[in-house]
Amino acid sequence: MQTFEYEVQGENGMPRTGVLEADSPAQATQVLRGQGLVLLSLRAAGGSAGWLDKLRQLNVSSGPGLKDVQNFTNQLAVMIKAGINIRNAIEGAVEQAQNPKFKRVLEQIKGDVESGRPFSDALTRHPKIFSPLYVNMVRASELSGDFGRMLERIAAYQARQIETRNMVRGAMIYPAIIAVMAVVTTVFLLTFVLPRFTALFAGKEDLLPAPTKLLMAISSFLLTYWYGVIAAIGAAIAGIVYALKTPAGSEVWDRLKLRLPLIKRMFRALYITRGVHTMGELVSAGVPMLDTLGITAAVSGNCVYRRLWQSVEQAVRQGEKIATTLQKRDELPRNVVQMISAGEESGQLGRVLGDISEYYAKELRDTIKAVTGMIEPIMILIMGVLVGFIAMSIILPIFKMSSLVKH
């Protein structure tokens, strides 16, 4: 017999712990569930499993992310389509949740559903985890009765958002790594390599070329005031991070992303894809148009496109068509606006928006590849120029002095 520590959900909905003896974890689980208890966790008392649980909790102690929500949605869709009721489906998802914080959220949702609240209302209590898009699509499916299929669509939407986010991050991370390597290499040459030649050049400063004098001055400054340089860099980074969190700083950065030569095409495709895809999913789900436009504006990710969809929302509220407002703006290409107009006229707006989002998703992937392909040689060239300039600034004085000695 083994001793197991367990945690179950008490009658008041709060976790309750206890100890029991059984031949195996499976038997312990069967005993607890036979008593009508909802099992939250089970581990061998004082054994290695307890340490594994602790390590796992440390690794997943961060807040729930989009991937956690997507996994939950996929699990829920499979169980609902298999005929399992929503309460038991959420209970099964709770048992499989790896993130402790997300598990607690799901337990609260399960409690709300058991108390008679609709699933969509239970989700609204956790707005930081379940977006308005998620809640509205679920609410629409509750009215239409096609809950399982809608959950599949939500999970597919989230999977595409995760893929897009990872592609954009990957495109930006590579140049950042090259830039950091260039800075580290330059600092290493200035603070460790160049000082080795200082004694060789001592007393011959008037013979040194201007680039060498400049680098020696920078090297001396870095070695003397290194603590001030580090503090200044830290303050600059903190200032930039703080500025980006302010409305004014965030707006400046949003506009820069749409104007910088190399990345503007990539970000434009990203925001068009995100907005049109979100709008298409909501329209196809039967969400009211005003709610659809408000949610699309909220998830746009850029102040320029957020204001675009907000202006469309205001126009539709006043009785205008979507395409009428879009034709007055230049954030969307003319052909996209024409397709949206055709979709409105034919009553196939959801399908048209889906086709547009598919096209721009492909363009986004192609653009990311093109941007990465252009940035790579540019960054390597910049790094080569920096290192070559420093190397030549060191070698040229040596050649000059050696020629003077021969004469």
- What pLDDT was estimated at residue 255? 92
Q: What pLDDT shows up at residue 89?
A: 86
Distance CA 89, CA 109 (A): 12
3-state secondary structure at position 43: strand
**pLDDT (tens digit per residue) in 243-265:** 988 989 999 999 999 998 878 88
Homologous superfamily (CATH) for 66-159? Type II secretion system (T2SS), domain F (1.20.81.30)
The DSSP bridge pattern shows strands 15-22 and 38-44 to be: unpaired
Q: Give the residue ranges of the chain where pLDDT is below 50.
A: 47-61, 407
Q: Would you report the helix, strand and coil content of the chain in percent, each value rounded to 5? A: 75, 5, 20
> What pLDDT shows up at residue 54?
43
DSSP string, 282-349: HHHHT--HHHHHHHHHHTS-SHHHHHHHHHHHHHHHTT--HHHHHTT-SSS-HHHHHHHHHHHHHT-H
Other Cβ atoms less than 10 A from the Cβ of 55: the count is 10
Instruction: Identify the three-state secondary structure at position 3.
Output: strand
Domain ranges for the chain, please list them.
2-59, 66-159, 162-407
What pLDDT is stored for residue 406 in this prediction?
A: 53
What is the structure's pLDDT at 187?
Answer: 87
Question: Given this model, what pLDDT does residue 53 score?
Answer: 45
Closest CA to 283 of 184, 208, 357: 357
Q: Tell me the pTM.
A: 0.70
Instruction: Take residue 367 and report the two structure tokens written for it.
Output: 């653009």
Residue (of 102, 97, 126, 99) closest to 112 by Cα position:
126
**21 sits in which H/E element:** strand 15-22
pLDDT at 42: 63
* Residues forming a β-bridge with 71: none
Task: Work out the end-to-end distance of the chain between its first and last CA atoms, rounded to an integer number of angstroms.
Answer: 95
Where do we find the tokens 């928006």?
A: 353
CB 383 within 8 A of CB 178: yes
pLDDT number for residue 314: 92
Predicted local distance difference test score (pLDDT) of residue 10: 59
Q: What residues have CB less than 8 Å from 196, skipping those under 6 apart?
A: none
- For the segment 209-237, what is each residue's pLDDT rounded down to a tens digit? 888 888 888 888 888 898 998 999 999 99
Phi, psi of 392 (to 5 degrees): -65, -35
Distance CA 393, CA 400 (A): 11
As a whole number of angstroms, the distance between CA 105 and CA 135 comes to 15
Residue 38: how many CA atoms within 13 Å on its side-chain side? 20
Which has the closest alpha carbon to 157: 361, 306, 342, 5?
Answer: 361
Strand order in the sheet with 15-22: 15-22, 2-9, 38-44
Total length of the chain: 407
Residue type (1 letter), 130: F
Number of neighbouring beta carbons within 10 Å of residue 23: 9
User: Residue 19: beta bridge partners?
Assistant: 5
d(CA 379, CA 179): 7
Q: 10 Å Cβ neighbour count for 195? A: 14
Residue with tokens 């004085």: 397
Given this model, what pLDDT does residue 49 score?
A: 42
Give the model's pLDDT for residue 234. 93
H-type alpha helices, 145-195: 147-188
In the prediction, which pLDDT does 238 show? 94
